[in-house]
Amino acid sequence: MTSSYNLGGAEAQPKHPNTTLSLSSSSHTTSPSSASAGSLVSNQTSITTTQKQRTEQRRCFGWAARNYNHHTFGGHTRIGNCARRPIGSNIALKRTENGTVHASGLMQCGSVHACPPCAAKIRYQRATEIDHKAKAHLEPGGGLVFLTVTLPHTLSENLADLWDVVAKAWSQIITGKAYYGNKTTTGAKEEFGIVGFIRAFDLTHSPTTGWHPHLHVLIFLNKPITELDDEFWELKAWFRHRWTTRIGNLTGKTVHDTFGVHAESVKNASGVGTYVSKINMELARSDLKKARAYGSRTPFQILEAAIDLRHPNDRRLWVEYVSASKGRQIITITKNLKQMYPPEEVEQSDEEIANAKQEGDTELLINRSVWRHIADRHPKLIAQIISAQQNEGATQVFRIIHHKLWWTVFDTTGDIPQIKPKQRKPEQWL
Ligand SMILES: [Zn+2]
């Protein structure tokens, strides 16, 4: 098993837009009569506090990451300009049903690789799509196998080359006679009843062995399969042989017997999308020290360390990762699976997902010139401003902004309060 198998723990669960803080507005207004109901209430309170803290941590990390990308790659790049450019004349601070506040009305970069807030939205959406396809396939009697393949790597190897090898090796596996067969021989596709694949690229970095690229592949089969079937082991052996040969031909390296190829059957589709799409790359902050001291880190853990600890090596790794990942797809779904199990709603591109209008009631408007000034000069205030709106309200937000930008005013004459630049009267111009 690869280290990536440990990433699915509760600490690393994704931010689900509808679950964060969902327990805060308790419906237990009547006093619970039983002791067990009483403990449920206190348990809910503690969950709420933890969730609140996680939301705050995620928000701080997200805005700090955007700021770091801005300074590292420049405002002229897409990732360096995420959430800095207002679309209209105002930014709206909106509160969703679950009580969290977000800033709406900003251009988002839509990078699934390099931008934690955009990646979270995209991966969440993709996970939902994968869950839907997996469920639609398993229910009427299809089979699913979850395959992970990796290759040997050393500290000196650069990521772009390793990424190329993984992509090339996989595309060679599922082409040609061995896979499709010909007039005289049956290929693996027909032999095992392979319907299609969902493939996700995953990556960690170890201080001793360097970049560790691996592929998670969900294999869709036309009949049910479990580890009790001989065919499962034959399928695994076929992929092991093909992967080992391809990697051998491309790199001259020998794939590890135990860790190189791992397979397991999927009996229950729920949660498989979350696992495949690795939403949990959005890390829990508490993991940082542990990961740094003992082992492999995800790219976002490297980014977090680069922001917090300012170690030049972490910055170098982050820059290498961003440049190597540019233009590459992280999750691919074969065409026939898209046709067999079309998404419940219209399929969106990464950029469309990141820029989709977020629901919520607008509580405060911040004029675009005020926002741009904050984003350029005081970017660290943004997370604080949104948290202040969430926990204390618009007056507190104005206090924070006005402390730095004395030329702003709080206009409460309209339906929705607004923070805007002070209009000087003509007599004050002189
Ligand atoms: Zn972004």
Q: What is the mean pLDDT of residues 312-319?
A: 94
405 CA distance to ligand 1 centroid (A)? Answer: 26
353 CA distance to ligand 1 centroid (A)? Answer: 11
82 CA distance to ligand 1 centroid (A)? Answer: 5
Q: How far apart are CA 30 and CA 187, in angstroms?
A: 65
Q: What is the mean pLDDT of residues 295-320?
A: 91
Q: How far apart are CA 10 and CA 7, in angstroms?
A: 9
Domain spans in the chain, listed from the N-terminal domain onward: 116-355
Give the pLDDT of residue 357. 76
Give the pLDDT of residue 426. 57
274 CA distance to ligand 1 centroid (A)? Answer: 20
Give the pLDDT of residue 30. 33
Higher-pLDDT residue of 234, 345: 234
Q: What is the band of 87 on the pLDDT scale with cuts at 50, 70, 90?
A: very high
336-362: per-residue pLDDT in tens?
A: 888 888 877 777 788 888 877 778 899
Give the pLDDT of residue 16. 37
Q: What is the mean pLDDT of residues 46-53?
A: 68
66 CA distance to ligand 1 centroid (A)? Answer: 7
300 CA distance to ligand 1 centroid (A)? Answer: 13
108 CA distance to ligand 1 centroid (A)? Answer: 5
Higher-pLDDT residue of 418, 311: 418
- Residue 95: helix, strand or coil by DSSP? strand
44 CA distance to ligand 1 centroid (A)? Answer: 32
112 CA distance to ligand 1 centroid (A)? Answer: 8
Least confidently predicted of 185-189, 408-412, 425-429: 425-429
Q: What is the band of 274 on the pLDDT scale with cuts at 50, 70, 90?
A: low
Look up residue 86 and give its DSSP letter. Answer: B
Q: What is the band of 17 on the pLDDT scale with cuts at 50, 70, 90?
A: very low
Give the pLDDT of residue 25. 31
Q: What is the mean pLDDT of residues 71-90?
A: 93
Q: What is the mean pLDDT of residues 204-231?
A: 92
Residues 6+ apart with CB under 8 A from 247: 151, 165, 169, 253, 255, 260
43: enclosing H helix or E strand? helix 35-73
Closest CA to 14 of 39, 51, 41, 66: 51
Closest CA to 423 of 374, 414, 411: 411
365-415: per-residue pLDDT in tens?
A: 999 999 999 998 999 899 999 999 999 999 999 999 999 999 999 999 999
273 CA distance to ligand 1 centroid (A)? Answer: 22
Q: What is the mean pLDDT of residues 295-321?
A: 91
405-414: per-residue pLDDT in tens?
A: 999 999 999 9
Q: What is the mean pLDDT of residues 66-93?
A: 93
4 CA distance to ligand 1 centroid (A)? Answer: 24
Of the ranges 20-34, 130-144, 275-289, which is most confident?
130-144
Residues 6+ apart with CB under 8 A from 297: 204, 205, 206, 291, 305
120 CA distance to ligand 1 centroid (A)? Answer: 10
Residue entry with tokens 């709603």 = 345
The phi and psi torsions of 425 (rounded to 5 degrees) equal -80, 150
Look up residue 327 and give its DSSP letter. Answer: T
102 CA distance to ligand 1 centroid (A)? Answer: 14
Sign of CA dihedral 72, 73, 76, 81: negative
Q: Position 273: which residue type?
A: G
Q: How far apart are CA 230 and CA 254, in angstroms?
A: 26
Contact between 383 and 59 under an 8 Å Cβ cutoff? The reply is: yes
Mean pLDDT of the chain: 81
Q: How far apart are CA 63 and CA 103, in angstroms?
A: 11
80 CA distance to ligand 1 centroid (A)? Answer: 8
Q: What is the mean pLDDT of residues 239-244?
A: 94
Residues 6+ apart with CB under 8 A from 322: 69, 73, 79, 113, 114
Coarse DSSP helix, strand, coil percentages of the chain, rounded to the nearest 5 percent: 50, 15, 35
The full DSSP string for 242-278 is HHHHHHHHHHSPPPPTTTSEEEEE----TTHHHHHHT
413 CA distance to ligand 1 centroid (A)? Answer: 34
Inter-CA distances, 310 with 80, 300, 314, Å = 18, 14, 7
